[in-house]
């Protein structure tokens, strides 16, 4: 009767079912819905009474970091646990800054997802031991050498950089993000300045190299 209700947002149906089966095996937890894309997720957040959202960052029609921000606008008290293929060293801090309460790598999800959910439901933040150490070292002033150059990009700049790495044109990026071409060009200019990239050709090269390394 007191089961915590979990909403799963993940674009792969098989992965959604796997998470659902894992969660429903626990007597204290129950999945109450699944969404496979950005807009369906927002609709479900508005119309269901979930206690926690399990969220993948890679959605076909939107960006998971931006979705976290929108969820927090709709319901600031609703906790979000990110479960993602993306390297926690690159994405965990961005997710937490956007409003998430935890980050689990999919490679570790089977072992850690239930623990993470319960810690978050108890008001705690869940991170791997490695990420905890990284945050502690940064707070102590010892974390710069281990940080990623991407950390200096804003969330939107980082998103544009990812699209460049995917081979998207400026026009395609603008259409996907619902921005003007001029605005995207401005983001690209900021990226080049922050990463000390000399021209557009070098920007594409760096973005592709980073995308390959992150995949």
Same domain, 196 and 133: no
- For 200, the enclosing helix (H) or strand (E) is helix 200-214
Predicted pLDDT at 214: 65
Predicted pLDDT at 77: 94
Residue-wise pLDDT tens digits, 1-35: 578 999 999 999 999 999 999 999 999 999 999 99
Same domain, 156 and 81: no
Residue-wise pLDDT tens digits, 64-84: 899 999 999 999 999 999 999
Task: Tell me if 183 is assigned to some domain.
Answer: yes
Same domain, 200 and 101: no
What is the CATH number for 176? 1.10.10.10
Whether 81 contacts 54, CB under 8 Å: yes
Residue 202 has pLDDT above 80, yes or no: yes
How many residues are there in the chain? Answer: 215
Same domain, 93 and 166: no
Whether 76 contacts 27, CB under 8 Å: no
Query: Of 104, 138, 172, at which residue does a domain stop?
Result: 138
Predicted pLDDT at 143: 52
Residue-wise pLDDT tens digits, 89-121: 888 988 999 999 999 998 888 889 999 999 999
Beta bridge partners of 29: 4
What is the CATH number for 95? 3.40.50.2300
| Sign of the CA dihedral running 178, 179, 184, 187 | negative
Phi first, then psi, for residue 58 (nearest 5°) are -95, 105
C-alpha angle 35-69-204 in degrees, rounded to nearest 5: 90
- Residues 131 and 10: their CA atoms lie apart, in Å, by 23
- Residues 13 and 30: their CA atoms lie apart, in Å, by 18
Give residue for tokens 């007191």: 2
Which residues constitute the domain of residue 39? 4-138
What is the pTM for the complete model shown?
A: 0.76
pLDDT category, 54, cuts 50, 70, 90? very high
Predicted pLDDT at 26: 94
Residue-wise pLDDT tens digits, 122-179: 999 999 888 887 777 766 665 554 456 788 898 899 889 989 988 999 999 998 888 8
């Amino acid at each position: 009767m007191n089961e915590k209700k979990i909403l799963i947002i993940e674009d792969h149906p098989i992965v959604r079912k796997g998470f659902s089966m894992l969660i429903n095996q626990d007597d204290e937890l129950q999945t109450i819905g699944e969404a496979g894309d950005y807009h369906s997720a927002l609709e479900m957040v508005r119309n269901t009474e979930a206690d926690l959202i399990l969220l993948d960052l890679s959605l076909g029609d939107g960006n998971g970091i931006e979705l976290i921000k929108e969820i927090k606008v709709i319901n600031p008290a609703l906790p979000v646990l990110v479960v993602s293929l993306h390297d926690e060293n690159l994405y965990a801090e961005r997710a937490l800054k956007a409003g998430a309460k935890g980050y689990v790598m999919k490679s570790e999800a089977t072992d850690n997802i239930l623990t993470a959910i319960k810690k978050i439901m108890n008001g705690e933040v869940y991170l791997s031991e490695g990420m905890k150490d990284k945050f502690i070292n940064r707070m102590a002033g010892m974390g710069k050498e281990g940080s990623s150059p991407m950390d200096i990009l804003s969330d939107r700049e980082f998103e544009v950089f990812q699209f460049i790495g995917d081979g998207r044109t400026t026009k395609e990026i603008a259409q996907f993000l619902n921005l003007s071409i001029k605005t995207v060009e401005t983001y690209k200019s900021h990226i080049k300045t922050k990463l000390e990239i000399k021209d557009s050709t070098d920007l594409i090269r760096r973005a592709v190299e980073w995308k390959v390394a992150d995949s």
